[in-house]
Structures are given as C-alpha cells and as structure tokens.
Structure 1
Amino acid sequence: ELTENYIKLFYTNLALRPSCGKCQFAKIERVSDFTIGDFWGIKNSFPDFSSNDGVSVILCNNERAVKIFSNIQSQFDAFVTDIHHALQPNLKKASKVPFYRYLFWKDFYKHGVLYCSKKWSPIVEFPNVLKQRIKMLIKR
C-alpha cells in the first residue's frame, strides 16, 4: 500500500524540489552526447511493442553520439524512431510544482510519509481523474 501511494504522490509533483519547476535542462537541446531515460508512453507510439521490464530511450544529441551509437547498436535490442515519439514531458518544459506543495511538506515533516501518502494521494488524484474523464467525454 505504501509503495502504491508513494508512486501516486510522486506523479502529483508534491515531492519535487522547488528547483524542478525552474529546471534549465528541461528541453531537447543538450550539452551532452546522449540523454538516457525511461521511454514513457511507448504504447502510445508503438502499441504492439511489449516489454515487462520497461523500455529505455537513448537520445543521440549530436553527430558524435550518432556515430558512437551506430557502432554499439547491435549489442542492444534497439530500434530507431523519430524524437517526437520519445519526447517526455521534462524534455519539453520544467515540471509544474503545485502551489500547495508547502502544505504537503509541512505534513511530511510533522507526520511522515505514510500519513502523507494516505492524505495527499486521494486529494490530488480526484482532480486528475476528473480531468481525464472530461477529456474522454470531449473526444467522444
């Protein structure tokens, strides 16, 4: 139960550091050769792709990276796709830090993670569920 509630809390952005809302690296342009992360939403772009272990994404940020990756690509179960399929929210913009985050942290320091996971998960989950249902109705 704690793990499930923690995951819900994680996705609410309540536990983010304040700097996450101003992250200078939340963009496609990078100074590194590679960007490596989880391929969130792969089912949206590739519905037939199946993996129980999760899928990683490797972005080659320059020609040097493309050369390096082409030399090692055969060592991976990999496929090449357009960057737009692999764009994660934090590659587009910084995370949105909720304005009531300070209330969460006040509770956290006073009562701990179990208390917060029970209190805050349902509070934040309801608007998100409501928003998803409204989007589904509009699409219909």
Structure 2
Amino acid sequence: MIAAALLSARAWLSALPRGVKLALAAIALLALLWAAWAIWLHTHDAKVIDQHEAAINQAAAPASQVAAEDRAADALENAQLRSERDDAITKAEAVEAAKPVEQRAALPPTTVALNCARMRQAYSAAELVKVAAYKERCL
C-alpha cells in the first residue's frame, strides 16, 4: 500500500514541469531546514535554562542554609519561650491558689503570668528589680 502511494506520488511528480519541481524541492528543503533549526533551538534553550537554574540554585544554597539554621534557632527559642510561659502560668496559678480567697488578685493568674512574661521580654533584669509590680506579682 505504501509502495503504491510512493509510486503514485513519483508518477505525479514526474508529470510536473521542471520549474514546479524545483519550487517544491526548495519548499521541502526550507521546511526541513526550519524543522532542524526548531529542534536545535528547543534543545539549546532547554540547556540554557537548565544552566541558569543550576546557577540560581548554587547562588541560593548559602542563603538556604542560613535560613534553615535560622528556622532551627527560632524553633529552639520558641520552645524555650513556650516553656518559660507555661512555667510562669503554673507558678502564678500555684501562688494564687495558696492565697486566702479574699487576698486573691482580681486578675486571672494567666493574665498575670502573661504580663510578667511581657515585662521580662521588654526590660532587662536590672530594670525589673526596680519595678515594684513585677516584684510583687512575678517573683
């Protein structure tokens, strides 16, 4: 079947004038050259893009490492702060529970503990010693 189609196409082409044959050959050659150029361009572009992405990843690697270290440090700091906050809340609840009912604070122990934690973050230890409210409620 394919052979018959090729023979038919050959017979059709042989019946064409020489100028038309040359024009068809030129068109076929240009189409072949264009296809080859498109394939080369596609592979070249893919190679250039891969090189560019590799360069970007290589340049970003130190920053990624620093970011990972910062995340780890932040996680440790957050865990420590969470532990300090929980300890302060537990201590404040215990102190409040130990007081007689009429001497208990009007503020809930969790609010007092939160305020104490905020004061510890906002002031240095030397400044906190001078604050009477801190000494009264947080120590």
TM-score (norm 1): 0.19
Q: Relative contact order (C-alpha < 8 Å, sep 6+): which is higher?
A: 1
More strand by share: 1
TM-score (norm 2): 0.20
More helix by share: 2
